[in-house]
Amino acid sequence: MKKTAARIVTDILMFILMCFLAGTGLLIHYRLVPGNRGGHGLEMLGLTRHEWGAYHLWAAYLLLFCVLVHLVLNYAFIRNVIAAGKPWIMAVLGLMGLLITLLFLLMPVERTDDDTKGRGRRFQERHPGSVERIDARKPAP
């Protein structure tokens, strides 16, 4: 495939994927609301909120791959326009992009001490005593 044709295919695929991501993001956020906001049992085209979320995630992975292909195909343009005479600019921009991306993998993840097993604050307020707290340090009677 010629480089020009590959660019066109990549650009069209990225556009379609961005539209799909925008659509599924809006669908998940506004139409297939979480269960704690009254969205129990909601489906669209036979898929639940979590199944749409899985498609959304894989479309995002595919879009990232297409962006990398797009950058490779347009490397000469990027090099000539952005870093004309200053190659360190490309290195700094590339490093910034890599650091921003890796930041989310390197940041610490915390576990809360909430033992409510998925029961939210509103449920507990409406049904006091329905969720027992289990202290893992004490042996069961």
Count the Cβ atoms, other than its own, within 10 Å of residue 17: 19
What mean pLDDT comes out for the span 30-36?
A: 85
Average per-residue pLDDT in the chain? 83
Domain that holds residue 91: 75-104
In a domain, 52, yes or no: yes
Pair 51, 98 in one domain: no
Span 64-123, pLDDT tens digits: 999 999 999 998 888 887 767 777 888 888 899 899 989 988 888 887 665 555 556 666
What mean pLDDT comes out for the span 6-20?
A: 96
What mean pLDDT comes out for the span 43-54?
A: 92
In a domain, 119, yes or no: no
Q: Which residue has the higher pLDDT, 110 or 62?
A: 62
Report whether pLDDT(134) > 70: no
In a domain, 112, yes or no: no
Instruction: Return the pLDDT at 104.
Output: 86
In a domain, 95, yes or no: yes
Report whether pLDDT(127) > 80: no
Pair 43, 8 in one domain: yes
How many structural domains compose the chain?
Answer: 2
Pair 12, 35 in one domain: yes
Pair 27, 60 in one domain: yes
In a domain, 133, yes or no: no
Instruction: Return the pLDDT at 68.
Output: 94
Pair 61, 95 in one domain: no
Pair 66, 80 in one domain: no
Pair 83, 68 in one domain: no
Pair 1, 17 in one domain: yes
Report whether pLDDT(138) > 70: no
Instruction: Return the pLDDT at 27.
Output: 93
In a domain, 113, yes or no: no
Instruction: Return the pLDDT at 81.
Output: 78
Sign of CA dihedral 25, 31, 35, 36: positive
- Which DSSP category does 45 fall into? T
CA distance 3 to 87: 24
Enter the pTM of the model. Answer: 0.68
Pair 63, 82 in one domain: no
